[in-house]
Structure 1
């Protein structure tokens, strides 16, 4: 039956709910409210460092979570405490998380709700609000691929809908018909910025129309509406997979976070929304219906308060985390036991590009759920034709054309990893990774360290100059990623290495950026085994040996060094091809330099801030007493890479290398 607003500030249509369900809704709302009230006291006492209050918005978190199946993933924000409590996470673990204790979920490495837990099928946010939306796409895609008929729910606020990730994630979900509920908590302000300065349409739900997506507007303070309407939506999506945008109209009664305050909110607005408090209104309604009396209310509150105090006591008594450098360093990457696969098959002379294609194809055969994603990679075969014929071999479910939205696709790959599915993402050009930079360096790189969730993702990065492609198709941008702990960086120079290292990259459960120099694709040929094989990371290749000097290079620069040595047969050099930049084979470098006494590092990247600087510094720290000359670095000019071939040749270090090498030898 429905009840009028004469007694209450909202209607509750409870005809489909019994007394047990109604009381469960009440208790599940009351618990996060009481926890928050306690946390605000502890915040003032300095016992927790920060708090993002969800007071006034509990109905959304609780109603959505109760409408979901426990095995379905929810991706909440920092105002969704009710998601965590309704999923029945032990309170001492939540309190431990907020205090930076080991019983929490991040080992003290991140705070508040910046965590996930596979046990409770929750994937927490990062401070950059947008990426989790695309991650939800990946989790939902896995539901389709595994035929699970599950819904994924992801939360954001009205401010988050202004981010590009929101639009990319909705677009991908709609094009691929992914079973995602995009839950927007519209509480009127993005921190202090009102919605009329955030977007210029009447409702956020209106945005769904542009993506061919259904939308719903729900009173976010009405727990019965939230639960019953979302329950119908989830059931419908399970039966007919598709995305939906749900706008919950609500209000937060406290600041963006406690330090912000609410001075920017007109008092009459606060007073009006206070009358729509979801907990107080529903409690009054239950009493009026004879479903809750004073004694029962007191008993429920005392039970919750006792649980809070008991679990706070457990968390407070827990020792603080003792810093352990080994533990910290060991948790940057998930442990990977490299499995060496040797080959005894016939070899065939193939191009670099063929080696990449063969390695990718054989990995698709080895890992029967491996998904590859990228722009134009399906029927078209990719702009370099590396995946030509893959759709026929593996189907469009596993070989997926993507919209032009690098950020959402990197995030989708992360979502697949959360569900245990490997993926390879082709950046059409390495330059375009900038459009997906945030999820690479802040999500893929940090997830394992933060909450023990690996990112089983390989990003293929066609890179490099020498093909007159200009500033946006020619960069060799590996230094952006060697700087970021949590990412592995591979950069082969030969077809044999490319195929074996790509197989290892896909086997590795950690995020790998796999650089493929476009200039080598069709210019370098080599005998390569036809069967599947692997090569280890962190092991350089010494491809020439000599006592005069150590040349350290990778990618196309290896071939420039070889050409220089071929033109100067009197120079006897150790030529080291690094092959992987993270991990870096420092031992091979040190051993060679200690033997030769001289070192020159050649790279295509521009000089300042490149990996040549790090290698030079390492040699100064570890081999100083063996050096007979200053370390030389040779790299590209400190300009963007130009288009005209004569300018590009001047930019690249190939023709300067011989002169610098001879100067070093004459030192």
Structure 2
């Protein structure tokens, strides 16, 4: 292995050596602890340290790095105390996740490190969002994100690189090609000769380097970072290396040919660099022993301190509360001055008002800039706020949701438009595993609103008409709102923008141009989690939301002989249990109405809660009126039959006859 010291001083080379040696010795300690049974699992990066150390040393301290689970050198080079890391690995209260997550699945704003989740690919889109925030803010910063050769087959890899290429984001995508994805060799993972050649397809620079040569890694990343800071663009770097131990220690390496292990043992990054420094007379056998002894003493002390730290004490209230970033909403009263608006225009007015209030708010979605979005809700926005903040995106829902989280991490707010709520499936993992869990895991907010144009009634068929709110109402960490009127549409939008937690904002497409109402001018908010009682009646109560509100209003208007309480939930997570309980107490007969399918729809949760908490006040079984348990058909006759509205009369009659 050839080393080129360039202009580096003797002290700089010795410092690099110590940075390289330290994570190796920590790893060796972990293997001893594993054999002793004092720890239960370890993902070893032995043989790959040069990549993490070299790349991290190339970055400025205020630049974000997104590592993976074999990148201990990133954390040690950023000077995170070993005691803190050990506490994290052991699930101690003093760890970054306080026992809630494992390994390097955490972030640290202090150290500008954002850890991975087990799905490997999603952090690449987060890097896009972090870099986008720097780009909009005019900072000359680079974001460095690690991935493995196995994750290059994931859609998240391609989406993230494509976004970075299209937007000229200052991101270095670093692939650690270590030969195996668990036990699957690279020959069974991809056909291309070099992973760096994948850059060609995205019109960006790609290069392959020796990932075991710490100086080559350091110099390459330093050179790239320096040019990217002044000429923002993404670059793909493939670092060739090898995983000398199992995917995790229990996996072993029996599937690796012995000669391959022997070949790569000769390329050990630490041994080769140590030999180089010995040859340059910067190290001696004695100085190596002295350095190692000092590091060993430090490691032993830090590890034992961490072992003595407190284990978590289970507290259910604290666990539930920590799913969300603290936010005590102060409802802003609406102005008495109002204008009659369509539902669609109220949403648009809410977004425009939010964009004017928050200069760090970025809108992203397909066709939302000059075209104004599929439903023209953002028409004219790019003229007023500029294309930096109103961004057309490629068709890549996963990357855009991830980028929204990255924007939030780096001080921005994001609103993401799903062109249709049905398309959210392509970004599902980012929502339920990244947005929803980030605060619980390591205390970081996810200040992202996702707009969900939803619902049937337009003959759009199975892929443009679904009511999919129940996919998310069961996911802790998400908030979900669903306005039924223009007043609430604007007020809930602004409340969602205020809230530092991820909010899914459902908006019914059929209502866009079919209902109007008075909407106050200026800034006001509606309380998230508070229902509206639209009618008071004595015979029964209807609990509903979204389009169901209008079905119920129409039905009651057509049947003046009925006396019903009508509740518009407005919010589904959290939902207003107090108002529901009062309705049960008042008349004892409850009908839950929603557009979603019957089985496992959100009405089932409401019904179960009433049964558990209000059973003694019921005069009849809780009844649900929902859509058929089928996909949504296109034909108007079939769609009308599908929708809950077609069964509303018979369900009410059944409830009253009980």
Band the TM-score falls in, shorter-chain normalisation: over 0.9
In 2, the alpha carbon distance for the partners of 1:324 and 1:104 equals: 17
Name the CA distance, whole Å, in 2 between partners of 1:582 and 1:15. 58
Q: Which residue in the other structure is 1:389 paired with?
A: 380
Q: Select 1:343's aligned residue among 334, 346, 349.
A: 334
**2:14 matches 1:23:** yes
CA distance in 1, matches of 2:522, 2:50: 57
Q: Which consecutive segments of 4 or more residues in structure 1 shift more than 2 A?
A: none
Instruction: Tell me by how many angstroms 1:452 deviates.
Output: 0.4
CA contact (8 A) 1:59 1:278 kept: yes
**1:344, 1:250 → 2: CA distance?**
63
**Which residue, 211, 223, 233 being the options, matches 2:214?**
223
Normalising by structure 1, we get a TM-score of: 0.98
Tell me the distance in 1 between the aligned counterparts of 2:209 and 2:476.
42
Contact 1:155–1:183 under 8 Å retained in 2? yes
Which residue is equivalent to 2:279? 288
For the pair 1:164 / 2:155, whether they are aligned, the reply is yes
Alpha-carbon RMSD across the aligned residues, in angstroms, is 0.7
Matched residue SS, 1:415: helix
Quick check: 1:199 aligned with 2:190?
yes
User: What secondary structure sits across from 2:107 in the alignment?
Assistant: coil
Number of residue pairs aligned between Structure 1 and Structure 2: 658
Q: Which residue of structure 1 aligns with residue 634 of structure 2? A: 643
| TM-score, normalised with respect to structure 2 | 0.99
Give the Cα separation in 1 of the matches to 2:192 and 2:586: 70
| Alpha carbons 1:550, 1:596 under 8 Å: kept | yes
- Consecutive unaligned residues of structure 1, counting only runs of 5 or more, are 1-9
- In structure 2, the gaps of 5 or more residues are none
- What pairs up with 1:398-413 in 2 under 5 angstroms? 398-413=389-404
Q: Is 1:659 paired with 2:650? A: yes
Superposed CA offset, 1:430-452 (max 9, x none): 00000000000000000000000
Q: Tell me by how many angstroms 1:345 deviates.
A: 4.2
Does 1:308 pair with 2:299? Answer: yes
Aligned partners of 2:278 and 2:104: how far apart in 1?
33
Is the contact made by 1:345 and 1:531 (CA closer than 8 Å) also made in structure 2? no
1:297 aligns to 2:296 (yes or no): no
The match for 1:514 is 505
- How big is the shift at 1:327? 1.4
Equivalents in 2 of 1:531, 1:224: separation in Å?
Answer: 58
Pick the aligned partner of 2:592 from 594, 601, 606: 601
Query: What secondary structure sits across from 1:218 in the alignment?
Result: strand
1:543 paired to 2:564: no
* 2:80 paired with 1:86: no
1: CA distance, partners of 2:221 / 2:349: 47
Deviations 1:363-387 (A, max 9, x none): 0000011000000000000010000
CA deviation digits over 1:405-439, x for unaligned, max 9?
Answer: 00000000000000110010000000000000000
**1:102 alignment partner, one of 93, 100, 106:** 93
Provide Cα deviations, 1:227-284, integer angstroms capped at 9, x if missing partner. Answer: 1111111101111110000000000100111111111110000000000000011111
Q: 1 CA distance for matches of 2:462 and 2:95?
A: 46
Q: Report Cα offsets for 1:173-209 as digits up to 9, x if no partner.
A: 0000000000000011111111111111000000000
- Distance between the aligned counterparts of 1:664 and 1:272, measured in 2? 77
Q: What does residue 553 of structure 1 align with?
A: 544
1:330 deviates by 1.2
What is the CA–CA distance in structure 2 between the aligned matches of 1:306 and 1:570, rounded to whole Å? Answer: 84
Q: Is residue 402–residue 430 contact of structure 2 (8 Å, CA) maintained in 1?
A: yes
Is the CA contact (8 Å cut-off) linking 2:536 and 2:564 kept in structure 1? yes
The alpha-carbon deviation at position 26 of structure 1 amounts to 0.7
Give the structure 1 partner of residue 604 of structure 2. 613
Structure 2 residue matching 1:576: 3-state secondary structure: strand
2:614 to 623, 628, 636: 623
C-alpha contact (below 8 Å) 1:188/1:195 kept by paired residues: yes
Aligned positions of 1:66-465 closer than 5 A: 66-465=57-456
Equivalent position SS for 2:282: coil
CA distance in 2, matches of 1:207, 1:177: 17
SS at match of 2:632: coil
Specify which of 27, 38, 47 is matched with residue 38 of structure 2.
47
- What is the CA–CA distance in structure 1 between the aligned matches of 2:601 and 2:643, rounded to whole Å? 14
What secondary structure does 1:304 align onto?
helix
Q: Distance in 2 between matches of 1:107 and 1:634?
A: 44
**For 2:46 and 2:7, how far apart are their aligned partners in 1?**
27
